[in-house]
Structure 1
Amino acid sequence: MRLKKLAGKRPARIAAGFIAMGLLSPVAAQAPSLAMLGTLDDGQWEVRPRDGGSVRRLCVRSGMELIQLQHGNSNCSRFVVEDAANAVTVQYTCRGNGYGRTSIRRETTNLVQIDSQGIAGGLPFQFSAEARRVGACR
């Protein structure tokens, strides 16, 4: 396809042509939903680092609580890297407080594997953990 021929056409017509040829998907413009996190059971979850670090408990209501474990409730902007049926990856930036990238893989609605890395409080972090529902929130 010649670029000179495309230059005079409207962008919408060009995009429609690419969609018709299967080269561009209209779904790409929609915001990811992170639906997998919503399938996790609500309740008290225990996050157990693989390196033997401190076990942490938290109340999970939406699953989103598992994304920013090193940044807590900081108001961070998020960019969804992967949004699959059994896995999500989110990159986030907490203005003035660092950033991170977290991947969560669901094994069951009560068990997930978490890998996260980034900068928190000016220091780098990296961890792998297993998170499991252990009961109701207190």
Structure 2
Amino acid sequence: MRRFPVVRTCLGASVLIGALTAAAPASAPLVALSRIEPGLYQLKEVGSSAPPKSLCIANAAVLIQLEHPDANCSRFVIDDTPDSATVHYTCPGSGHGRTVVKIATPRSFDLETQGIVNRAPFDIDMQGRRVGDCDPRKAALR
């Protein structure tokens, strides 16, 4: 009857590996964001009369930290489905945020992000629409 301790050990190892795998998705590509087609996007703030901003998206992960673009942040994936991703991130010394991206089509999305940047709060709701191609090396917000 020594099979049970072996099974229990294997099961314990599987649970540990599962726990480690569950912690890993913060650096793994998000399913929802992988659906966004690379290209030039216009980001229009909902309810604002300001002109839209342009963003060249080579990797849609840039959308998670729009207010902390160059910060080295840790991320915690709250939800990731084919249609939506929710991520909380913390940037030591710069602040933190929570971003929700809802995919309408591979060329359009809604984004809600809020948090603290440089000791000031932000709360932004915007829509992104692909408007063409761009040079992926120029992925800066304009």
TM-score, length of structure 2 as denominator length: 0.75
Aligned to 2:58: 61
Point out where structure 2 has 5 or more consecutive residues left out of the alignment: 136-142
Q: 1:47 matched to which residue of 2?
A: 43
Does residue 1:75 correspond to 2:72, yes or no? yes
In structure 1, list runs of 5 or more residues that go unmatched: 1-9
Aligned residue for 2:65, secondary structure, equals: coil
**Which fold has the larger relative contact order, with Cα–Cα distance below 8 Å and residues 6 or more apart in sequence?**
2
Higher relative helix content: 2
**Cα distance between partner residues in 2 of 1:113 and 1:53:** 17
- Per mean C-alpha deviation after superposition, the further-off stretch among 102-111 and 39-48 is 39-48
In structure 2, the residue matched to 1:92 is 89
Q: Percent identity?
A: 35
Instruction: From the superposition, tell whether residues 84 and 15 of structure 1 become closer, same or farther in structure 2 (CA, over 3 Å).
Output: farther
| TM superposition shift of 1:15 | 8.9
**Larger Cα Rg: Structure 1 or Structure 2?**
1
Which residue is equivalent to 1:4? none
Q: Distance in 2 between matches of 1:53 and 1:92?
A: 29
* 1:72–1:53 distance in 2 versus 1, CA, 3 Å: farther
* Aligned match for 2:134, one of 128, 132, 137: 137
Is the partner of 1:67 in helix, strand or coil?
Answer: helix
Residue aligning to 1:37: 33
Q: How many residues align?
A: 123
